[in-house]
């Protein structure tokens, strides 16, 4: 076991799978000599060479188009998009082509592509480097969407994603890249895609989140405990496919649900979770399902701390739910 940051776990997952499977290749802007904008691919070029670690032009649609072709010819590409904010030029390639290959070919072809991209705020990146647009991709049939919150899960989920036969949008919470550390096994292991985790047991309210907001939720749950409120924190880990059973089981136990994410509130992934709870567990609810989210504006630079839900804002929603 080695103590690793979330970023180091991402790097180690790619290195591990590239050593285990020569079909695994990495491509993206500055992923080679520079090791990526956050240094997630640092050292891979020296270890595996230019034929498996490829710097590309500044062309996101080209990156995904090339990765899709590679997958159809038997490779298992990992395509890095430097920031989720830059993924939109490749949106058509992802939702119209990559996600549809298994369906349109009747299962003859698969598209084992992993699209890695940092998402969310917390580094004062302003409106072009802080977006959380995961709902776009979770809405698209044929894509899997993964969002880890811990170094252990990041490595295990990335290895699972690389081995998966379907395309995976792998969302990395960049404000956690170097701020969380834990022991992570050396070598290969997997964390199952589509399975949520109970990050903290509780009995009064279910607090549901993913990515960087999980850390905020755990701190809010700790603060709530000082006031005698027992909060169960669910780390979704995967948005699509969603572990509905774990969510509903928790809500049926607690009778209350608060969903936290960084994305703008209107039309966010939290809205889908809220709808599922209302559809499947309404008889268990003792209070309305609440959503604590980012604002329905572009992510601000100066007021980023007001945009992203913090511990106090999450705690206020917990209190509203419990006191209803």
- By annotation, the residues acting in catalysis are 129
Give yes or no for a contact between 269 and 263, defined as CB atoms under 8 angstroms apart.
yes
Give yes or no for a contact between 48 and 76, defined as CB atoms under 8 angstroms apart.
no
Give yes or no for a contact between 311 and 198, defined as CB atoms under 8 angstroms apart.
no
Quickly tell me which residue has 């349109």 as its tokens.
Answer: 104
Provide the terminal-to-terminal Cα distance of the chain, rounded to the nearest Å: 45
Q: What angle do CA 140, 87, 132 make, to 5 degrees?
A: 75
Q: How many CB atoms lie within 10 A of CB 246?
A: 19
Helices and strands in the chain: count of H runs, count of E runs:
12, 14
Give yes or no for a contact between 293 and 262, defined as CB atoms under 8 angstroms apart.
yes
| 151-163 helix and 6-20 helix, angle to the nearest 10 degrees | 30
Q: Exposed, middle or buried by CB within 10 Å (0-12, 13-18, 19+), for 102?
A: middle
| Half-sphere exposure of residue 139: CA atoms within 13 angstroms, side-chain side | 13
Scanning the chain, the segments in alpha helix (DSSP H) are: 6-20, 44-48, 60-72, 91-92, 101-104, 134-138, 151-163, 213-225, 244-254, 269-281, 304-307, 311-322
Give yes or no for a contact between 115 and 168, defined as CB atoms under 8 angstroms apart.
yes
Whole-angstrom Cα distance, residue 123 to residue 230?
Answer: 31
**Of 291, 193, 290, the residue nearest 241 (C-alpha):** 193
């Amino acid at each position: 076991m080695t103590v690793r940051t979330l970023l180091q776990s991402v790097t180690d997952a790619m290195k591990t799978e590239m050593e285990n499977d020569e079909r695994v290749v990495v491509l993206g802007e500055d992923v080679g000599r520079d090791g990526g904008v956050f240094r997630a691919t640092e050292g891979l070029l020296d270890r595996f060479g230019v034929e498996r670690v490829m710097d590309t032009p500044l062309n996101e649609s080209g990156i995904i188009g090339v990765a899709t072709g590679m997958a159809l010819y038997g490779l298992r590409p990992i395509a890095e998009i430097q920031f989720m904010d830059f993924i939109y030029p490749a949106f058509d390639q992802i939702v119209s082509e990559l996600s549809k290959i298994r369906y349109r070919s009747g299962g003859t072809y698969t598209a084992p592509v992993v699209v890695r991209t940092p998402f969310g705020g917390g580094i004062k990146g302003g409106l072009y480097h802080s977006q959380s647009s995961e709902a776009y991709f979770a809405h698209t049939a044929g894509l899997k969407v993964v969002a880890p919150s811990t170094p252990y899960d990041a490595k295990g989920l990335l290895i699972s994603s690389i081995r998966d036969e379907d395309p995976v949008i792998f969302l990395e919470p960049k404000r956690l890249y170097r701020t969380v550390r834990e022991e992570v096994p050396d070598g290969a292991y997997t964390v199952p895609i589509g399975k949520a985790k109970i990050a903290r047991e509780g009995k009064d309210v279910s607090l549901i989140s993913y990515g960087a907001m999980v850390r905020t939720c755990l701190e809010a749950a700790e603060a709530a405990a000082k006031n005698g409120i027992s909060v169960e924190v669910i780390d979704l880990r995967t948005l699509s496919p969603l572990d509905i059973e774990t969510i509903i089981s928790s809500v049926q136990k607690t009778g209350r649900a608060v969903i936290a994410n960084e994305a703008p509130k209107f039309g966010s992934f939290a809205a889908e979770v809220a709808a599922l709870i209302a559809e499947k567990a309404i008889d268990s609810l003792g209070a309305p399902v609440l959503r604590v989210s980012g604002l329905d504006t572009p992510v601000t630079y100066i007021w980023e701390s007001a945009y992203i839900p913090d511990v106090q804002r999450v705690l206020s929603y917990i209190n509203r739910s419990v006191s209803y």
